[in-house]
């Protein structure tokens, strides 16, 4: 099943799935639970790097793990105060991608082009426009 096009954005001209898309797909396929564990709380001593591990369990008993990190060096300035939450989203996204067989990195996993040290108010993602019927596979992810 392909991800809904509303859960795909264009980055540098190529379709990239969003966390919401793999979460939705996992629910449709029988997501049983998502558990997270904080591995590292961001502090000055560790470069303000937050690390979280996520475990996704599906109704068939299959289990998928993912680890996510976030620091002021790899998130948008708007998110620099939410490093722990953002690393959790990245960890859950990675585990969910494996659970629904999406091999492409999620937009939320990618480092931001705008380091937290600089503020860029321009949006980073553009929603992917629906492709004409003859090109519809370009924006689909068929896990």
Rounded to an integer, what distance in angstroms lies between the CA atom of residue 22 and that of residue 121?
27
- Nearest alpha-carbon partner for 125 in 17, 1, 3, 4: 17
What confidence tens digit (pLDDT) does each residue in 5-34 have?
888 888 888 889 999 999 999 999 999 999
- Torsion sign over Cα 96, 52, 139, 128: positive
pLDDT in tens, 104-113: 989 888 876 5
What pLDDT does residue 130 have? 52
């Amino acid at each position: 099943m392909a991800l809904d096009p509303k859960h795909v954005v264009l980055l540098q001209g190529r379709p990239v799935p969003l966390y919401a898309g793999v979460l939705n797909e996992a629910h449709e396929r029988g997501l049983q639970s998502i558990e997270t564990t904080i591995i590292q709380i961001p502090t000055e001593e560790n470069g303000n790097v937050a690390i979280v591990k996520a475990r996704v369990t599906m109704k068939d008993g299959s289990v998928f793990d993912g680890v996510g990190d976030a620091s002021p060096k790899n998130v948008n300035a708007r998110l620099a105060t939410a490093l722990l939450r953002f690393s959790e989203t990245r960890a859950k996204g990675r585990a969910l991608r494996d659970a629904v067989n999406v091999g492409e990195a999620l937009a939320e996993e990618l480092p931001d082009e705008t380091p937290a040290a600089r503020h860029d108010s321009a949006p980073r993602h553009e929603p992917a426009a629906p492709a004409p019927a003859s090109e519809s596979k370009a924006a689909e992810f068929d896990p």
